[in-house]
Amino acid sequence: DIQMTQSPSSLSASVGDRVTITCRASQGIGNDLGWYQQKPGKAPKRLIYAASNLQSGVPSRFSGSGSGTAFTLTISSLQPEDFATYYCLQHNSYPPTFGQGTKVEIK
């Protein structure tokens, strides 16, 4: 199975901060990666697909980049509703595998 290493596991940030989360794949996955946001008690919600495509309805402050083995999710200006846990998910090779998650907390 492909291993997805996500960092950091948690971070503290203030409203308005720029936040960057990274995922590294144990082998090349092209651009077969999505980013998901999960709030307590809720299902994951897709933010980004194919590494850099913004899901319809998702604010433009979210962006994704990368290909191959290194990927980044960036929140350009953190808003109060963005405090949540974020996961990457690769679907290049079966089974799909998730990163360990990054919890974004209020500083």
Partner 1 sequence: EVQLVQSGAEVKKPGESLKISCKGSEYSFISYWIGWARQTPGGVLEWLGIIYPGDSDTRYSRSFQGQVTISADKSINTVYLQWSSLKASDTAMYYCARREGGSYDYWGQGTLVTVSS
Binding site for partner 1 (CB under 8 A): 1, 32, 34, 42-46, 49-50, 55, 85, 87, 89, 91-92, 94-98, 100-101
- Cβ 98 to partner 1 shortest distance, Å: 4
Nearer to partner 1, 16 or 40 (CB): 40
Write out the two tokens for 62.
Answer: 């979210």
For residue 95, cis peptide bond before it (omega within 30 degrees of 0): yes
Nearer to partner 1, 24 or 91 (CB): 91
Nearer to partner 1, 49 or 78 (CB): 49
- Cβ 95 to partner 1 shortest distance, Å: 4
Nearest CA among 41, 47, 3, 49 for reference residue 25: 3
- Cβ 11 to partner 1 shortest distance, Å: 15
Distance CA 54, CA 59 (A): 8
Q: What is the identity of the amino acid at 42?
A: K
CB atoms within 10 A of CB 107: 9
